[in-house]
Amino acid sequence: MNENGGLPQAATIAIAGLGLIGGSLARRLVADGRRVVAWNHRPHPYEQARAAGIECMDRIEDLALAKPDVLVLCTPLKAMPQALASLAPVLGPHTTLTDVGSVKGQVRDEVKAAGLADRYVGAHPMAGSEFSGYGASSPDLYDDALWAVTVDGHTDYDRFLIVADMICNGVGNRIIVLDDDTHDRAAAMISHMPHVVATALANELTAMPERNIAQALAAGCWRDMTRVALTDPDRTRAMVEEDAANVAELLRHMSRRLAGMADLLESEATAASDATAESSRESIRGFFSVAQPYREFKAWQRSGDVDYDEVSLSIDAGNWRADLLESAKRGEHIIRLAGRHGFVAQVRTAL
Amino acid sequence: MNENGGLPQAATIAIAGLGLIGGSLARRLVADGRRVVAWNHRPHPYEQARAAGIECMDRIEDLALAKPDVLVLCTPLKAMPQALASLAPVLGPHTTLTDVGSVKGQVRDEVKAAGLADRYVGAHPMAGSEFSGYGASSPDLYDDALWAVTVDGHTDYDRFLIVADMICNGVGNRIIVLDDDTHDRAAAMISHMPHVVATALANELTAMPERNIAQALAAGCWRDMTRVALTDPDRTRAMVEEDAANVAELLRHMSRRLAGMADLLESEATAASDATAESSRESIRGFFSVAQPYREFKAWQRSGDVDYDEVSLSIDAGNWRADLLESAKRGEHIIRLAGRHGFVAQVRTAL
């Protein structure tokens, strides 16, 4: 590891997989002056990537041989076991291994199975779009993005620091530190389950006899609620299957919420008495008012008047994981490293 | 009615309700050089509205007394019966009555109850945002919008033409002609039901113990899928309740789709045999592939390479409703009036 004032630096970064996420990350790191070596399972993006200053390699093993400080797995989730199997025999202990997979428990299991757990730190940048491939990549994809960095009881602190250097200093992004389970439950809530909902909406339209008229009437609401249904459905399916238990549980909750509202609307319309109708009406009002604190939080966030306070975090070397997990729960996002045991975080107001 | 080459023109337009939709419409019509008189249940937007060239009236009855060619009800749905009751005694037969309500069967029933059915043509512009009130209004809200114009067996052709003049020539928008039922089913599909789904997503997040971390991880998918949950919940509730039967039916479909995917994900993960797991996997693949024609249509629409053909429609005076309904079903959107019995329409490719 390169050292600088006690802080490990990710001077050379290897990217395995030059799709939307990996390609955008590579271009962003090159723009920060980092050396980026990359490999893709097919060489078709190499000409463009080389023109952007990325060193492209023939084989994934070549990435390990370049002795990068950090190697980032940016392949699709289903390709990770194969990528790890290819890397395991050749990846030296100097290199810290990380990834950008949208589920973290499953990737850690695969890293363990490949015998690379000692050098692994999980990561998941909250950035993306409904497009795929290097052709759709852009350094801007990471503007103001937050990364979840996932650790367990075996994660090495120096390896965490070098990944944090890549994210905060190299990409210019924020970090929260989580355990795998907390990450996967939260990601199911705000991304994986909603992708299924968006797809179900598109399926419902497709099944409708008046679909052409419905599509003609569609405006902003429909466009936004089905945008992610336009994603490559194989990529969505893989993401959902890798977080299946969490997604299934949330889908059951949503299914009950929607059926419950159908019940209320029908009982309001067909109630035999005014009292019954009013009771249904009151429950419908309740459904629409539950999320009021969330609406107010978003209104504040969107007011343009948002100024986040900064705090300094001092980390106890023996207890760093718990300290950083607590910081994340308080709604703090790490934006800078300040010495080996200090961080600067923004306080983002919590719900 | 003012006549010009046989075509009725909406020279003076009255707007009842200067909220987001009515305010934006009034400003857009003023920009086209039309005389706009307006009323709002509270006078707070009048100073701004007058500065924008809108004549503001003290009482809703004053709108009728101005003898407008068209009077557009832009009040909330729940305020329409009261507005119609106030207008009925004073609205002269010269004035064509229309509205911008998001459900059409219910509004027509209320218009009939007020004794104004003979001068009514329904309308619903597919435009809006999650904001409310005149302060959020903008003429741009109507850019490239489509209006559903709803007719029944009693609708007068000249009254249809004057509303069409206001929409195509005054606002610069497109029209499809529908009956109320077809409109309300389609609107439930692409707007009313998805508003409930977005609200249920926000409610599910609010109920989650890790909601702060989930909210921190939220990116474009979550933002887009819950944007309409930020709408004034009373407005959403009213819209959903007015189209209750259609929304309830679609919510039951969606509820079953989501529970079905939960079943498949669980049976894939816990299958006792490879064959059972593969069968679930195949059904999951099916779920994600159903909407492929819709994805391809949207990809074409978004390619930037879209050029709609124009067709001339010749309308049989005795059969104009059926002719225009058929045109809508073929995916044609009226963009111009061409004489008393002719229209120019864009052919928008259908699903």
Nearest Cα residue in chain A from B326: A213
Higher per-residue pLDDT: B75 or A317: B75
With a pLDDT cut of 70, the percent of chain B lying above it is: 98
> What's the pLDDT at A220?
87
Radius of gyration of chain B (CA): 23
To the nearest whole Å, the CA of B73 is away from the closest chain A CA by 20
Nearest to B182 among A194, A210, A219 (CB): A210
- Which residues, in sequence order, are CB contacts of B12 under 8 Å at separation 6+? B34, B35, B36, B37, B66, B67, B68, B69, B70
Determine how β-strand A55-56 pairs with β-strand A7-9.
unpaired
Higher per-residue pLDDT: B81 or B350: B81
Average pLDDT over residues A3-24: 89
Q: What is the third-level CATH fold of A184-290?
A: 6-phosphogluconate dehydrogenase C-terminal fold (1.10.3660)
Give the Cα separation of A95 and B110 in Å (integer).
72
User: In the structure, what pLDDT confidence band is assigned to residue B1 with cuts at 50, 70 and 90?
Assistant: very low
> What's the pLDDT at A188?
96
Strands (E), chain A: 2-4, 7-9, 12-16, 35-39, 55-56, 70-73, 96-99, 122-125, 146-150, 174-178, 309-314, 332-337, 342-347
Q: Would the pLDDT of A1 be above 50? A: no
> What's the pLDDT at B212?
83
Determine how β-strand B146-150 pairs with β-strand B55-56.
unpaired
Please answer yes or no on whether B248 and A262 come within 8 Å at the CB atom. yes
Given a contact cutoff of 8 angstroms between Cβ atoms, the answer to whether B228 and B194 are in contact is yes
> What's the pLDDT at B2?
42
Q: Would the pLDDT of B124 be above 70? A: yes
Nearest Cα residue in chain A from B130: A221
CATH superfamily for domain B2-178: NAD(P)-binding Rossmann-like Domain (3.40.50.720)
Please, what's the b/e burial string for B229-247 (b: 16 or more CB within 10 A of its CB; e: otherwise)? bbbbbebbbbbbbbbbebb
Domain residue ranges of chain B, discontinuous segments joined by + = 2-178, 184-265, 291-351
Please answer yes or no on whether A250 and B204 come within 8 Å at the CB atom. yes
Starting at the earlier edge strand, list the strands of the sheet with A309-314: A122-125, A146-150, A174-178, A332-337, A342-347, A309-314
What architecture is the A10-178 domain classified under in CATH? Answer: 3-Layer(aba) Sandwich (3.40)
Please, what's the b/e burial string for A260-270 (b: 16 or more CB within 10 A of its CB; e: otherwise)? ebbebbbbbee
Q: Would the pLDDT of A293 be above 80? A: yes
> What's the pLDDT at B5?
60
- Which residues, in sequence order, are CB contacts of B307 under 8 Å at separation 6+? none
Average pLDDT over residues B147-167: 97
Chain A 239-278, CB below 8 Å of chain B: which residues? 240-241, 244-245, 247-259, 261-262, 265-266, 268-269
Give the Cα separation of B310 and B333 in Å (integer).
9
Residues in chain A: 351
- Mean pLDDT lowest for which of A28-32, A153-157, B292-296? B292-296
Q: What residues of chain A lie within 8 A of the CB of B281, using their CB?
A: 241
- Cα B101 from chain centroid? 7
Interface predicted TM-score (ipTM) over 0.85: no
Q: What is the third-level CATH fold of B184-265?
A: 6-phosphogluconate dehydrogenase C-terminal fold (1.10.3660)
To the nearest whole Å, the CA of B305 is away from the closest chain A CA by 17
* Cross-strand pairs, A123: A149
User: In the structure, what pLDDT confidence band is assigned to residue B312 with cuts at 50, 70 and 90?
Assistant: very high
User: In the structure, what pLDDT confidence band is assigned to residue A307 with cuts at 50, 70 and 90?
Assistant: confident
Among residues A205, A131, A223, the alpha carbon closest in space to that of B144 is found at A223
User: In the structure, what pLDDT confidence band is assigned to residue A2 with cuts at 50, 70 and 90?
Assistant: very low
User: In the structure, what pLDDT confidence band is assigned to residue A209 with cuts at 50, 70 and 90?
Assistant: confident
Average pLDDT over residues B73-100: 96
- Which residues, in sequence order, are CB contacts of B6 under 8 Å at separation 6+? B339, B340
With a pLDDT cut of 90, the percent of chain B lying above it is: 79
Q: Would the pLDDT of A96 be above 90? A: yes
Q: What residues of chain A lie within 8 A of the CB of B210, using their CB?
A: 182, 185-186, 189
Q: Would the pLDDT of A3 be above 50? A: no
Higher per-residue pLDDT: B4 or B232: B232
Higher per-residue pLDDT: B93 or A3: B93
The mean predicted confidence, pLDDT, of chain B is 93
Q: What residues of chain A lie within 8 A of the CB of B200, using their CB?
A: 254, 257-258, 261, 287
Chain B 32-61, CB below 8 Å of chain A: which residues? none
Please answer yes or no on whether A291 and B247 come within 8 Å at the CB atom. no
To the nearest whole Å, the CA of A115 is away from the closest chain B CA by 25
Nearest Cα residue in chain B from A144: B219
Question: Is B144 in the A-facing interface, judged by CB distances under 8 Å?
Answer: no
Domains A10-178 and A184-290 share a fold: no
Higher per-residue pLDDT: B131 or B199: B199
pLDDT, one tens digit per residue, over A145-202 is 999 999 999 999 999 999 999 999 999 999 999 999 999 999 999 999 999 999 999 9
CA dihedral A266, A267, A270, A274 (to 10 degrees): -140
> What's the pLDDT at B349?
61
Give the Cα separation of A233 and A215 in Å (integer).
20
Average pLDDT over residues A292-317: 87
Element (H, E) at B125: strand B122-125
Nearest to A258 among B196, B229, B295 (CB): B196
Q: Would the pLDDT of A317 be above 90? A: no
pLDDT, one tens digit per residue, over B38-51 is 999 999 999 999 99
Q: Would the pLDDT of B350 be above 70? A: no
User: In the structure, what pLDDT confidence band is assigned to residue A329 with cuts at 50, 70 and 90?
Assistant: confident
Nearest to A224 among B205, B214, B224 (CB): B224
Token pair listed for A145:
């993005």
Average pLDDT over residues B16-28: 97
Nearest to A255 among B255, B293, B294 (CB): B255
Give the Cα separation of A150 and A328 in Å (integer).
11
